[in-house]
Amino acid sequence: MNAKLTEQPNTIMTQSLEDMTHNPDNSKDPVASTADVTESQATLPVAPDPIFTAVNQRCLIRAEQLKRYSNIRDLPTDTRNAPLLDIGFGQQRALKALQTALDIDASGYHVFAAGEDGLGKRTVISRLLQHIAANAPTPNDWVYVHNFTDPRTPVALHLPAGQATLLQQHVNNLWQQAKKRLTQRFRSDHYQSKIEIIKNDTDQKESCAYDALNAEGKQYDLALTFRPYDNKAIFVHPSQLLTEDGDKTVKDKKEVEDIADSDLALGSDVRSNKIQSNKNSNQSLASDITSDSKTDRDTDADAHTDHKNDLNNFAKKNHMQKRLNQLTIELEQLEDDANDAIEALHRNIARRALQPLFLPIREQFVTLPSVINYLEVLFTDMVTHVERIVNGDDEEFVAAVLATTPSRYAVNVIVSHTPGSGAPVIFEDLPTHLNLLGHVEQITQLGTVTTDVSMIRAGALHRANGGYLLLEASHLLEHPYAWQGLKRALQSRKIKLSSLEQMLTLTGSLSLAPTPIDLNIKVVLLGEADLYYELLELEPEFDAVFKVRADFHDDVPRTREHELALVAKMADIISYAKLYPFDSSAQAALLEHLSLQAEDQERLSLHSDRLIALLHESNRHARLDNQDIVDASHVTQAIADMDERSGYLRDLYWDELKNGQQLINTQGQAVGQVNALTVVSYADSEFGMPARLTAVIQPNIGAGDILDIERDVDLGGSLHAKGMLIMTSYLRALFSQHHALNFSASLAFEQSYAHIDGDSATVSEACALLSALANVPINQALAITGSMNQLGEVQAVGGINAKIAGFFDACREQKLTGQQGVVIPMANVKQLMLRDDIINAVENEQFHIYGVHTLSEALTLMTGLPIDSMNKKKRYRKETLFGKVLSRLMLWDDNQDTSDDAEDKKSKTKAKNKRKAKKQKKEAKRKKEQDRKDTDNNQDELADDNV
């Protein structure tokens, strides 16, 4: 039967199913399918309803409305003849906002460029800023130098553009020359003679002082000598100076120490005996005092005399020792004076050697007071530490392995600009805290962590200071403390280096704290609009820092001027990438594809990423064809390649459709069943596919409740639920005034196992539900999509081109019959940019596209019946769809009433029978009792007779 139906164009079933609606037998199955209609009911076709014919003609979309082609004659012959590119094409609103921020030199006037990824926001803004920056003044250079007062806080110096590198070179050369010249001066004979004079003068004064003291000691019979092991001056008795070989040295260290110690306590007899024994043991005494040496034959009188002499010698020796101590102090002062003289000589030599080296540098930077002050401090430090410089025995004054200058005298260039180069435009693709604000490196040597001024590294803010900095907002928020550091720098207008280690761990090793650098910059954050709103909500200070929002448009109106402007953009990309030129046919194909991307015949997409990829792939096909110019066929092939690469999921679906695993009918009719148009989106893959939508009615249960199965199992989104509620409200308003809604229904997308959202299935759901309520079949050769409001008006939906292509491919897979087509909102007609094969099928009447304004028009096309025609009594006619719905609602009520009456009669009969049985039972019991009494009486009478 289905085959016969699809062969007849614009025909409907001969039986409108109204008889089935009033048939009590069929009321048991209110959702009877096509199989319930017998072959005899569909043998003869009838003429279509005039209303259906009128709606069909009014809603049919012509082939010329399905796509807008570009006029090749209005385009350049090839991209080499394209007009010049306008940098701000299509983004005047955003560029105006950007210019406003650039013109205001106040805190917080930074820009958030909001727009979808792939629009080329960074390219447009970078080109505009580079154009502006080329005529802007070049910012100062910045260097860090050693702080000789507080080494932990290096000093930041700013110089005119190009002067930082010059200062670094001068200081490096200065160090090399100073090291060489000072080494030569301190190795010269003149220097050595000066030192010898100072040393000789000091030695002479020391000798004279020792000679005078020694002469004084001889008066007390004491001699001045020096201990050999520490060269300390002491006074001893002359008898202790000579040895057997005549050398002026004592016998041993132990003896001298014992003598010196015993001289401090001569009052002790024991120690005096010890001294006496030591004297006896000396075998090398002077001849004039050893002739009468002490022997074991000493008498007590001699011992007493010796004791007095020892006491006397102790007093004299103590006196001379004090004089020796005084002389020692005087000699130390003499040595200090000599050292001061040597140091003064060193400084004098250093000044005379370094002064000529510093003079040209001072003249070079005479207009920079900060640099002159630094050079003065540098000169003083070199003069002060000249000995350490010459000796090279201190790491602080030795150049590192990879450096030519010690870090103490290094000039660390943080940022340097070429004079006249304009303001910098910097894009930081990895905006971490360190890359933005700079950091201080550290080096580990033998387990010790060290750092110095030469290890300070610049960040993006340093490089962009005085110019412009571009950042991806999403990348900025990925890194810890990056946003906080940027915000602090922009608010304080200073770049302050801080230790990220201390921020993360609340501890950290001692590091440098360089002085902050003044910041004068404009920052542009690039991101999507959703991220901008999230930042506004979650970051209270965001709008105080980024006060200007620049919105980038996704598309532009499709005018001749804009088409030429986009051709200029293509030519710019082609020239930059060194691709083959594109002829006018290729340009037209690209413009048509851009309209498809915009999903509007009257607009052109501004997304650059897709365009760039398409240009490169089209160029590849031209190269493979050995062509030196790209034409429309190459563009078409590139588009097909892109669709094929992203069509893996689509191919899986079509395989299931071929194998019968996906149940889709593109022919015949069915009650409560609709082919709904959907779009599947996953990652970069998007394609249209039809989905079977079914509705089931449960009469006399509920009050018009509609169960959304997708929503109840959490497969339906909030927008889908909203569409269901709108449809429910529409139906209640449509029929509740005529009859109570004495049914419940359920709707479901069959074989759908993924999340569903959006309200584009509202019209198809209404069609399925009303078909089930009226028990009227729907033409399965048509698929439908559209949103609906509570007034029954059909609204536009998204993805319309992909949806139509999906159902067309399904129909072609199951063979085109000339009856298939789609029903779409009329508001979507201007968005049609269909494939050429679909347009050819429409031209050949193998496929049809209808545009509707209301649900009634959609239902007419889907069922072939008038929908809401009324009679004079303002009631829906019985032959209309709504009339059939009301008839079934009333039929369900009648059936319910009949069933209720039968049940009541049955209950009454049962109660009556029950009462009758109870009465009969009671009568039988009474009769039985009476018989028993009669029997008893008879027996009593018989007994009496016997008696």
Q: Which residues are catalytic?
A: 760, 803
Angle between helices 632-645 and 608-624 (to 10 degrees): 120
The helix (run of H) or strand (run of E) holding residue 564 is helix 560-577
Coil, helix or strand at residue 637: helix
Amino acid 347 reads R
Residue 794: phi, psi to the nearest 5?
A: -90, 130
Left, alpha or beta for 282 (phi > 0: left; psi -120 to 50: alpha)?
A: beta
Question: Who contacts 531 (Cβ-Cβ below 8 Å, separation ≥6)?
Answer: 473, 474
Q: Please, what sign has the CA dihedral across residues 140, 144, 145, 147? A: positive
Q: Can you tell me the distance from the alpha carbon of 297 to that of 301, in angstroms, rounded to the nearest whole number?
A: 11
Cβ burial 674-685 (10 Å sphere, 16+ → b, else e): bbbbbbbeeeee
The number of beta carbons lying within 10 Å of the beta carbon of residue 508 is 12
Q: How distant is the alpha carbon of residue 258 from its chain centre?
A: 84
**Closest residue by Cα to residue 807 from 793, 820, 790:** 820
Coil, helix or strand at residue 174: helix
Residue 651 token pair: 């191919």
Q: How distant is the alpha carbon of residue 563 from its chain centre?
A: 35
Burial of 291 (0-12, 13-18, 19+ CB in 10 A): exposed
- Confirm if 785 and 798 have CB atoms less than 8 A apart: no
**Closest residue by Cα to residue 473 from 393, 386, 389, 545:** 545
- Confirm if 407 and 454 have CB atoms less than 8 A apart: yes
C-alpha gyration radius of the chain? 56
Q: Can you tell me the distance from the alpha carbon of 593 to that of 634, in angstroms, rounded to the nearest whole number?
A: 13
The number of beta carbons lying within 10 Å of the beta carbon of residue 223 is 18
Q: Please, what sign has the CA dihedral across residues 709, 711, 713, 715? A: positive
**Closest residue by Cα to residue 569 from 70, 69, 90:** 90
Q: Can you tell me the distance from the alpha carbon of 564 to that of 474, in angstroms, rounded to the nearest whole number?
A: 34
Q: Can you tell me the distance from the alpha carbon of 159 to that of 165, in angstroms, rounded to the nearest whole number?
A: 10
- Confirm if 469 and 523 have CB atoms less than 8 A apart: yes
The helix (run of H) or strand (run of E) holding residue 51 is helix 50-59
Angle between helices 608-624 and 560-577 (to 10 degrees): 60
Residue 527: phi, psi to the nearest 5?
A: -170, 175
Q: Can you tell me the distance from the alpha carbon of 505 to that of 540, in angstroms, rounded to the nearest whole number?
A: 26
What is the DSSP track for 701-716?
SSSSEEEEHHHHTT-B
How are beta strands 743-749 and 705-708 bridged, if at all?
Answer: parallel
Residue 627: phi, psi to the nearest 5?
A: -105, 150
Strands (E), 192-322: 223-226, 233-236
Cα atoms in the 13 Å half-sphere on the side-chain side of 492: 13
